[in-house]
Amino acid sequence: MAKKLNSIIQDNIFIQSLEFGITKIDTGTSYVEFQEFLKKVQPIMQQDFKHYMHVWFYENFYVKAIYDQVKDLRFTSGTFSDNNLKNFDNQPAIITADAYQKYVDYQELKVAYHSSKDASRLATIAILITAIIGILQIVVAVYT
């Protein structure tokens, strides 16, 4: 189970996408540049997933030209289609504060996950040491 969770943590395309946005926080990016990044991370994507990532980008990256139109709407409402979004694909974009906070929360969760694994190992070692000391006390008591 832990191996599976580690591979999910390591390979998650959404986390990698947030990291991409964070690396571009000073210079900005565009959806076109984001697409190139996606091709490297996930070379084969079904059309539905491509559409979802197109929508996801505009939900997690601030594009001034479209922000006022979408800040209170969900793309899934059908208001925006890929064709409407393509008009903004070359516009400069930066990761939103909300998306950045999601990444920070994820990093904190990842640290907590690894800390709990370490604590669990230490607790197991402590139990073994306690058991060995208990057995030694019995052995010493019997043979003295």
Half-sphere exposure of 43 (CA within 13 A, CB side): 0
Evaluate if residue 135 carries a pLDDT over 90: yes
31 CB-near residues (< 8 Å, 6+ apart): 54, 57, 58, 61, 85, 88, 89, 90, 91, 93
What's the confidence (pLDDT) of residue 12? 85
Cβ pair 93, 29 in contact under 8 A: yes
Q: Distance between CA atoms of 67 and 17, rounded to whole angstroms?
A: 20
Q: Which of 70-79, 108-117, 120-129 has the lowest mean pLDDT?
A: 70-79
CA distances from residue 131 to 21, 114, 127, 143 in whole angstroms, order as listed: 51, 26, 6, 18
Kindly state the tokens that stand for 54: 């197109």
CA distances from residue 141 to 134, 136, 138, 144 in whole angstroms, order as listed: 11, 8, 5, 5
Cβ pair 99, 34 in contact under 8 A: no
pLDDT in tens, 14-59: 999 999 999 999 999 999 999 999 998 888 878 888 888 888 898 8
pTM strictly above 0.85:
no
What's the confidence (pLDDT) of residue 137? 94
Q: Which of 9-18, 64-73, 97-106 has the lowest mean pLDDT?
A: 64-73
